[in-house]
Structure 1
Amino acid sequence: MARIIRNSRVEDDAWTLLPKIDAAADAAQTPPAGPLLLPLDVWLAQREQLLARGEALGVWLDAADDPAAIAADLEHFTLLAVNFPKFTDGRGYSIARTLRERYGYRGELRAIGDVLHDQLYLLRRCGFDAFALRADKDAERALAGLTAFSDSYQGAVEQPLPLFRRRPAQPGEAV
């Protein structure tokens, strides 16, 4: 069973991640039982059949996918994931903020793909609360990436107020 970081803890991952497939050609295949994390194209092609299963569902978006494609269906998902095809591809950060801030998604938001420990702090600031690291990385050691910095100046998804609004005013200081 794969290990992930969820809410600052390393845990076993009970979700089955389905790879990208030809959704039209594979529509007749029966997905495995249990919680499924499936690609956007599979969700779009098999929405009604998947909902009829009555099991936990999640969708993963590629960096080029538009989160608007699932905005109307967010209540059906226990988990959303964003795939980082390369650690240098930053589009997933924007997708996370869009899901949290524009569409109000409050469920688990997971970073998958080429995710490294030095990205975790900034990923969390954009709204991710779970991380599936690359297979060659140790999740226990990567936890330090979540506390790489003690505080931040700017507001973000996980802390909307900037630092100057969070600290108490000093005597004689203008607010």
Structure 2
Amino acid sequence: MHNLVKEGVPAEDAWQLVREGEGELPAGDLILPLARFVSGERAPHGRTAAWFAPDDDPLAAAADVLALPLLAVDFPAFTDGRGYSVGRLLRERRAFAGELRAIGDVQRDQLHFLHQVGFDSFAIRADLNAADAAGALADFSAGCQTSWRRRQGRGLHV
């Protein structure tokens, strides 16, 4: 993933995303499917993170998952909003304090709303411009509902 917005700006990405069905793990920092992490797989030479599919239950995540430095949530299609709930549950009910990343079909129009529910990094679609997408975080001065960031006293700005 090289099209990353983190802390409100385009950023370099040290993590490699491993999708379902991919075989041997490469070297480096890896984001593994949750099921592979739970089964005991780890990055052979680097840090390990995990990603949730839209139908994975974040309330069932074990403590070792919540202790990871990064959790990602997959948005397989722009129109699939289940990941918003997964992210919000990870932040609010599971108190996940690490980096929460949106992956998959992530587009500029989603960033403000993803940020509002607790995401702080965004691996936007490869055909989109990261600098342009980062501007979406400043499109609105307030959300239409109480956000996770506002409840945490962090405001809505990155």
Which interval holds the TM-score relative to the shorter structure? 0.7 to 0.9
Aligned residues: 153
**Displacement of 1:75 after TM fit?**
4.7
Q: Which runs of 5+ in 1 are unaligned?
A: 162-175
For 2:49, give the aligned amino acid.
Answer: G
Say if 1:62 and 1:153 are closer, same or farther in 2 by CA, change over 3 A. Answer: closer
Classify the secondary structure of the residue corresponding to 1:134: coil
Check conservation: 1:36, 1:57, Cα contact below 8 A: yes
Structure-2 residue corresponding to 1:50: 42
Structure-2 residue corresponding to 1:20: 20
The share of aligned pairs that are identical, in percent, is: 43
Say if 1:91 and 1:69 are closer, same or farther in 2 by CA, change over 3 A. Answer: same
Which stretch shows the higher mean deviation, 148-157 or 108-117? 148-157
Inter-partner Cα distance in structure 2 for 1:62 and 1:106: 19
**Displacement of 1:54 after TM fit?**
7.5
Structure-2 residue corresponding to 1:84: 75
**Displacement of 1:16 after TM fit?**
1.1
Where relative contact order (Cα < 8 A, 6+ residues apart) is larger, the structure is 2
Q: Does 1:37 align with 2:37?
A: no
Classify the secondary structure of the residue corresponding to 2:150: coil
The TM-score normalised by the length of structure 2 is: 0.87
Larger of the two Rg values belongs to structure: 1
The structure in which a higher percent of residues are helix is: 1
RMSD of Structure 2 on Structure 1 (CA): 2.2
The TM-score normalised by the length of structure 1 is: 0.79
